[in-house]
Amino acid sequence: MIVDPYTPVSGDSSYAAVHYDLDLDYKLAGNRLTATATIDIRAREEIRSAAFDLVGLRVSRVKVAGDTRASFRQTDRKVRVTFSTPLAAGDTARIAITYAGAPQPRRTRWGLLGWEELEDGLIVASQPTGAPTWFPCNDLPCEKSTYALRVATDPGYAVVTGATGTRARAGRRDAWSFTIDTPTPSYLLTLQIGPYRETAVDLAGVPGRLFHPAGLENRAAADFALLGDMMSAFAESFGPYPFPQYTIVVTQDDLEIPLEAQGMGIFGSNHIDGAGSLERLVAHELAHQWFGNSVGVEGWQHIWLNEGFACYAEWVWSEASGKATAHGLALAHHARLAALPQDLRVSDPGPDLMFDDRVYTRGALALHALRLTVGDDPFFALLREWTTRHRFGVVTTADFTALAEEQAGAALGSLFAAWLDDTALPDLPKGGKRGARPASITERVGLIDAVFRRDRSRG
């Protein structure tokens, strides 16, 4: 059964994964993981079996609570657990899967994903299908669960997730424990291990943690110094920060792009220089906590609701911090997109193009066109209502367009069809109700030149 056409071999829609209890023992030398995942599921329909995504790791035992005759079969992508008596719709089961191996990233059309060794430590970067490289899961973006993690590993290393953990000595090893109570899809659950130093930071009243290698403290402190101001600007524009805290991890290694996880932003050492050169990426990853992490997508077709909104947040921050206006940036990016192929539908880009920069930028332009049409106050009221109404839920493009029309009290179908469904790039609305300072001719030319030159990599 295909449950998401963009990731057709992932997930099982016949049940909901309610809670994961992950007990992990990891030895950095040799990259050796032994683990047990205990998963609470609820059947959505009558089921005789439940399939879990798992790649590159070997299952040795499966136990189903109260079912001594349950069995399992493993393939290269799945572990299928068969019950001796079918579960009726609404029935629950607790399944413990013991497994081991040397975790590796999986090869996908989007590159290497999942568990990856660093020069000294590891990183987990799963979007969209990397989670099965380290635990058995129902790997769908719409499947949000709670988690408990216990991680035993070598002393002298910090273990970091998007939640505050506790550390205790267990023999010659350190044992870390974490609880994640906010609903989280498997792709946003992360694990970072490294010889990191931790700095506590206050982010406009939100607890913040900055993890970095020795030697990068000054660069990291300088480049993330504005996080508190960003948090304030985004809370005003998008509503209260949705999670208990925000964590930043800077790896010693270079990374291709920064990326988001639940309650966390992950950056490579190449993304910080002590001069704030990639400030927009810091804003982008923070914005994902509202758009993508709290308000998630029902399917990958709707990824512009993650990336277009986070891209627009870059422009919101630029405007709030007294730099280029959102309108000036929109004009510059519109000019850039006009020179690129017009063959992408933002509302359904297809799996090969779901991470195309045009999804990010044209999605942001769609939001700016909406802002120009309805005016600043109604636009930001809409965004705050969006993050409030769908907090910790999953959404579709139709959900957003319906809410926009509800809040505006006007039909907006032709606007959204032009920006999201048609491939041809429409013109931005002229005049309208925009309250932001218009860009001067000099600013427009400078921004267009900068947009054509700069690296557009972001997570």
Whether residue 236 is annotated as binding a ligand: the answer is no
Contacts of residue 209, defined as CB under 8 A and 6 or more positions apart, other chains included, come to 164, 198, 199, 200, 201, 245, 246, 247, 248
What lies within 8 Å, CB to CB, of 85 at 6+ separation is 67
Tell me, yes or no, if 26 is annotated catalytic. Answer: no
Cα separation, 295 vs 432, in Å, equals 28
Question: Is 157 in the active site?
Answer: no
Closest to 53 in 3D by CA, of 130, 162, 160, 156: 130
- Greatest Cα-to-Cα distance within the chain, rounded to the nearest angstrom: 74
Q: Which amino acid is at 261?
A: A
Pairing of strands 264-267, 246-250: parallel
CA distances from 389 to 48, 235, 345, 382, 384 (A): 36, 15, 26, 10, 9
User: What whole-number distance in Å separates Cα of residue 75 and Cα of residue 58?
Assistant: 10
Q: Which of the following is catalytic: 157, 241, 360, 443?
A: 360
| Residue 288 is labelled as binding a ligand | yes
Residue among 144, 174, 149, 143 nearest 161 (CA) = 149
Please, are residues 142 and 148 in contact by the beta-carbon 8 Å criterion? no
Task: List Cβ neighbours of 293 (8 Å cut-off, separation of 6 or more).
Answer: 184, 188, 242, 243, 260, 261, 262, 263
What distance in Å separates the CA atoms of residue 159 and residue 171, rounded to the nearest whole number? 17
- Say how far apart CA 316 and CA 326 lie, in whole Å: 6
Please pick, among 143, 260, 279, 285, the residue that the annotation labels catalytic: 285
The tokens for 43 are: 């059947």
- The residues that are catalytic are 285, 360
Give the annotated binding-site residues: 284, 288, 307
Give the annotated binding-site residues for Zn(2+): 284, 288, 307
